[in-house]
């Protein structure tokens, strides 16, 4: 908005050009400005109007619209110049370009979709690309596309693909909480209920850092939720400009003619430093906010279903994006900078490799097959997290069934743990420090010589990932987690899958390569020489993220000819600031 206002009011200062802005601190122009230092004062009108609300929250009467100007100070100075012609020396077919130049070109190509879509990282989302779909718990799935500029030996390439992401549904805060939290479903007909301390914490956790706008008056302003008030709405007072204290319920009644319905709910606190309260029922979730927190399995399944297209359908959608109004070459920026972007997809030659043949234990029934290489689990422990007394009583039967199934698959697992079962409450998963100390205690009880810890959990928990990461990276013990709901049923298929996972995690294998290298893969070495299979990946943060690191990872096989065990090495490097 500020950039657009500058172009409209100060076109001569920009030499008639339309620059590209990266949303942070860099602005790029195809021509030099008249001066190396520029300073502007920009007035942006922020429209607002006072409205009277009906009891249901609908607008009844709109009063005279007022305009409030907000003053912005803009300073610019020349940082660098770059001529692309200097990059390619005579006789060279390809040379890498500086990162600053790639960043500038990337910003220019992103300018058009940034103005017309919701930008999240390197991806753009819009309801015009197939609409939004409700995925439950106050979230919607939105289609979009990923875009980045890459250097290749064929030149610069625009990398594009489809993208699906979850966003907060733009509805009222009360309706949002009812979809998100099951204990608030009765709020519509029980408007006088109060929140318990635990419920208040859950509500604050769900709303913190979400942006909202108010519906009792029109405004373009958005507010970030920093927390909830300690008092309920009915007991809230705030200081007025004239120095006296006003009761919040009376204020909305007198100024907006609105009777607050949910008087026993806390208000939203939208300021860190001073009292600034908004009743929940008068707030709406702002559109275009990426869903905070982890999506559930059901939400993930719905998002994946939205992104499932056949290859030809996927290509057609990408072609439509390139040729459509939100494509990187559809705006004015490419013409301003004299850039040409082909709308045809790049064709690459490739070959289809046949799947390799594998060795495995021959059996008439796959369920009766044995592990190709079974290892021994002699030092292991069991940790119970949560669970009722009835559920805990099934542990001995579970251990007996698991050891028998391991023996049937050719995997030896001792029938006895190195120490007695450790019973812990479910809240241990909420605290990383606490469950790390418990894992260390289990390791010490086994004389620091454990191969495996089996963790039985009462239910799926968000702390599952932290538990796995702590055990396997900080403590150095492999873990296998399962749920009590599966333990109590104890189906043969579940126990078999569990035994196979355990065998794989401790170095065993179900299969190995039938022959060392398939004949259709070209060999650069002798037949009797060992081979390592390697994979590598480098992930960079999006152009506007100057805080996150770039991460590089390499994985390689360590056993030959089986080639079924791999080790990983990764490294993070701080991203340079532009």
> φ and ψ at 357, to 5 degrees?
-85, 145
Digit-coded pLDDT (tens) for 451-477: 899 999 998 888 888 899 899 888 889
Q: With both helix axes pointing from N to C terminus, report the angle between 197-207 and 173-180 in degrees, rounded to the nearest 10.
A: 110
Residue 131 tokens, joined: 């609409």
| 49: confidence class by pLDDT, cuts 50, 70, 90 | very low
Total residues belonging to the chain:
578
Closest CA to 119 of 284, 290, 5, 285: 290
483 with 510: CB under 8 angstroms? no
| 374: confidence class by pLDDT, cuts 50, 70, 90 | confident
Please give the residue that has the higher pLDDT: either 176 or 357. Answer: 176
| Rounded mean pLDDT, 2-31 | 73
Residue 337 tokens, joined: 């900078």
| 16: confidence class by pLDDT, cuts 50, 70, 90 | confident
331 with 111: CB under 8 angstroms? yes
548 bridge partner residues:
none
CATH of domain 361-508: 3.40.50.2300
Query: Does 229 have pLDDT greater than 50?
Result: yes
> How many distinct helices (H) and strands (E) make up the chain?
14, 30
Residues 6+ apart with CB under 8 A from 331: 111, 112, 115
Fold of 97-169+291-345: Alpha-D-Glucose-1,6-Bisphosphate; Chain A, domain 4 (3.30.530)
Distance CA 178, CA 181 (A): 6
Confidence (pLDDT) at 58: 37
Confidence (pLDDT) at 275: 84
Digit-coded pLDDT (tens) for 299-317: 999 998 888 888 898 899 8
Token pair 């190195």 is found at 418
**Which of 33-42, 128-137, 407-416, 551-560 has the weakest average pLDDT?**
33-42
What's the number of CA atoms in the CB half-sphere (13 Å) around residue 483?
A: 9
Fold of 173-285: paz domain (2.170.260)
Residues 6+ apart with CB under 8 A from 302: 133, 135, 136, 141
User: How is the chain split into domains, by residue range?
Assistant: 1-81, 97-169+291-345, 173-285, 361-508, 513-573
């Amino acid at each position: 908005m500020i950039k657009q206002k500058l172009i409209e009011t100060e076109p001569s200062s920009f030499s008639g050009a339309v620059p590209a802005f990266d949303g942070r601190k860099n602005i790029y122009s195809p021509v030099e400005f008249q001066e190396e230092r520029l300073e502007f004062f920009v007035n942006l009108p922020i429209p607002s109007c006072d409205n009277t609300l009906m009891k249901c929250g609908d607008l009844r009467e709109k009063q005279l619209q007022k305009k409030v100007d907000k003053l912005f100070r803009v300073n610019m100075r020349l940082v660098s110049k770059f001529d692309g012609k200097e990059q390619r020396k005579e006789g060279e077919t390809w040379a890498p370009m500086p990162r600053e130049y790639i960043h500038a070109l990337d910003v220019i190509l992103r300018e058009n979709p940034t103005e017309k879509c919701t930008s999240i990282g390197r991806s753009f989302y819009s309801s015009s690309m197939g609409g939004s779909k409700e995925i439950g718990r106050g979230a919607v799935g939105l289609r979009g596309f990923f875009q980045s500029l890459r250097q290749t030996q064929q030149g610069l390439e625009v990398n594009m693909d489809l993208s699906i992401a979850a966003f907060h549904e733009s509805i009222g805060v009360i309706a949002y909480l009812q979809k998100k939290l099951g204990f608030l479903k009765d709020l519509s007909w029980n408007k006088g209920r109060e929140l318990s301390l635990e419920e208040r914490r859950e509500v604050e956790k769900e709303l913190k850092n979400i942006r909202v706008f108010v519906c009792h008056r029109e405004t373009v302003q958005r507010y970030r939720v920093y927390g909830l008030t300690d008092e309920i709405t009915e007991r809230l007072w705030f200081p007025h400009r004239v120095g006296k204290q006003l009761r919040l319920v009376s204020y909305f009644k007198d100024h907006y003619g609105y009777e607050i319905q949910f008087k026993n709910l806390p208000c939203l606190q939208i300021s860190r430093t001073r009292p600034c309260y908004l009743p929940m029922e008068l707030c709406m979730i702002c559109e275009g906010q990426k869903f905070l927190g982890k999506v559930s399995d059901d939400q993930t399944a719905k998002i994946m279903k939205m992104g499932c297209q056949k290859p030809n359908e996927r290509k057609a959608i990408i072609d439509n994006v390139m040729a459509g109004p939100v494509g990187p070459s559809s705006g004015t920026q490419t013409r301003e900078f004299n850039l040409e972007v082909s709308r045809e997809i790049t064709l690459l030659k490739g070959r289809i490799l046949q799947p390799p043949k594998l060795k495995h234990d021959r059996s008439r029934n796959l369920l009766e097959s044995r592990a190709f290489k079974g290892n021994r689990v002699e030092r292991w422990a069991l940790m119970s997290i949560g669970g009722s007394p009835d559920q805990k009583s099934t542990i001995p039967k579970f251990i007996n069934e698991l050891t028998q199934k391991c023996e049937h698959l050719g995997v030896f697992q001792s029938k006895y743990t190195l120490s007695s079962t450790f019973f812990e409450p479910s809240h241990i998963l909420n605290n990383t420090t606490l469950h790390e100390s418990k894992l260390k205690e289990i390791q010490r009880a086994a004389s620091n010589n454990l191969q495996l810890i089996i963790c039985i959990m009462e239910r799926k928990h968000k702390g599952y990932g932290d538990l796995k990461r702590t055990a396997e990276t900080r403590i150095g013990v492999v873990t296998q987690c399962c749920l009590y709901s599966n333990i109590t049923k104890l189906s043969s298929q579940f126990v078999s899958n569990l035994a196979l996972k355990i065998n794989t995690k401790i170095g065993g294998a179900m299969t190995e390569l039938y022959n060392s290298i398939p004949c259709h893969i070209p060999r650069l070495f002798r037949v009797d020489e060992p081979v390592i299979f390697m994979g590598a990946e480098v992930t960079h943060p999006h152009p506007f993220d100057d805080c996150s690191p770039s991460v590089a990872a390499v994985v390689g096989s360590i056993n030959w000819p089986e080639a079924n065990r791999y080790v990983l090495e990764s490294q993070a490097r701080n991203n340079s600031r532009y």
